[in-house]
Amino acid sequence: MQLGDYNRIVEREMLWLGCQQITPGQVTVITIDDQNATWYNFTRFKDAEKGCHISGMSELKKYFQRFGYLSIPNNQNDNFTDVFDAQFESAVILYQQKFGLPVTGKLDSETISTIMSPRCGVSDTESTIHATKHFAYFYGRPRWDRGSSMTLTYAFSPTDMIDYISLPEIKTVFKRSFSRWASVIPVNFTEIDDYPSANIKIGFFKGDHGDGQPFDGVLGVLAHAFSPENGRFHLDEDETWAIDFEKVKSKMAIDLESVATHEIGHILGLAHSSIKEAVMYPSLKPRSKKVNLKLDDVEGVQALYGSNPNFKYSSLLAYENSYNKAINLNQRSCSWTFSTVVVVVFILFMIT
Ligand SMILES: [Zn+2]
Ligand SMILES: [Zn+2]
């Protein structure tokens, strides 16, 4: 499927019920709306469980391998079979634990929907996982070390940027994202023009861009950043980046500020969190925004760098409480609207 393809296509779809393949000859009409089919095909594994043999499951195993849930030697392609074996079941369980999903060991609809969500390209399990906390670090717990009052510089690539959002607007978004982290730890971030000498190097890249972590076109992987003290911060140029959903109507629009805030967490040394509300959770739905640091993010980064003397837990807790109260009230008064949104989001992923 091609980018920008607005054709309606007719596709014969196989339905799966547990392990049993049913071929009703059902014809499903799917509207393809400026997107590719990165992980769309995974819908056909819905309800699969241990013992199933489904053609193409090897691709799903490669997805699990890519994000750290399987360790199959991939020097031989036929090491990835189409059998849902015990090793794959363990990987599914680990994935469900990491994403805070019900742990069923099966590819239930919630798990498949999460797998299909756009996400960060950083592996989920290249990290030290705490028994009692949800935040995590990269192996060896690397952090930036520049003395007690630390200033890290960042710069934008002079060549690898997008042109449909102005540079001043992009800079404003990143300034806000950096300032959120700076407000909780004793670290300052300063923008400089000299890209080669900056600690943090930000740019937009397409496909294979030379770091062994190729991007994959629209949706799928959105961005990735490297652990300290590497500083490379890469965004997938093929996404429809947005800073204002009022102006960008695409169903595939991705909030730049949310992704920027998440990737700065990696730059600082945080790995992925299993708390859905945390900024460091690995996936982000299109047209959604998650920019405010949660307690889990703050505890994680402060364990690496200490607290900013001006930071007060009480203000964060007060904010989280008022946020939760607002959510609860909203859910009580607008429960129909809320579930409609969930259904719409789910349908959106069924057709992407
Ligand atoms: Zn990430
Ligand atoms: Zn990269």
Q: Evaluate whether 271 touches 290 at the Cβ level (below 8 Å).
A: no
110 is annotated as an active-site residue: no
Residue 272 labeled ligand binder:
yes
Residue 236 labeled ligand binder:
yes
What is the span of the domain harbouring residue 198? 127-311
CATH number of the structural domain spanning residue 187: 3.40.390.10
CATH number of the structural domain spanning residue 32: 1.10.101.10
Whether 275 and 151 map to the same domain: the answer is: yes
User: How many other CB atoms sit within 10 Å of the CB of residue 93?
Assistant: 16
pLDDT in tens, 164-217: 999 999 999 999 999 999 999 999 999 999 999 999 999 999 999 999 999 999
Query: Rounded to whole angstroms, how far apart are CA atoms 17 and 20?
Result: 5
Question: Which ligand neighbours the alpha carbon of 120 most closely?
Answer: 1
Report yes or no on 30 lying in a domain.
yes
Whether 27 and 144 map to the same domain: the answer is: no
Q: DSSP letter at 221? A: B
Provide block-wise average pLDDT over 10 residues at a time, the chain (352 residues): 33 34 31 52 91 91 91 75 94 93 95 92 73 79 87 98 97 98 97 98 97 94 95 97 96 97 97 94 95 96 95 78 55 32 36 42
> Closest Cα to residue 143, out of 308, 307, 303?
303
Cα of 120 to ligand 2 centre, how many Å? Answer: 11
Surrounding ion ligand 2 within 5 Å at CB are 211, 213, 234
Considering the entire predicted model, what is its pTM? 0.79
Whether 94 and 239 map to the same domain: the answer is: no
User: How many other CB atoms sit within 10 Å of the CB of residue 275?
Assistant: 17
pLDDT at 350: 41
Helices (H) then strands (E): counts for the chain: 8, 13
Cα of 250 to ligand 2 centre, how many Å? Answer: 25
Report yes or no on 201 lying in a domain.
yes
| Number of domains the chain contains | 2
Whether 135 and 112 map to the same domain: the answer is: no
Structure tokens at 2: 């091609």
Report yes or no on 164 lying in a domain.
yes
Whether 132 and 205 map to the same domain: the answer is: yes
Report yes or no on 338 lying in a domain.
no
Whether 258 and 173 map to the same domain: the answer is: yes
Whether 143 and 235 map to the same domain: the answer is: yes
Residue 212 labeled ligand binder:
no
The one catalytic residue in 89, 110, 229, 263 is: 263
* Domain end position, chosen among 53, 86, 116: 116
* Domain end position, chosen among 116, 149, 164: 116
Q: What's the one-letter identity of residue 185?
A: I
Whether 295 and 163 map to the same domain: the answer is: yes
Whether 52 and 152 map to the same domain: the answer is: no
Query: Rounded to whole angstroms, how far apart are CA atoms 277 and 118?
Result: 16
Residue 224 labeled ligand binder:
yes
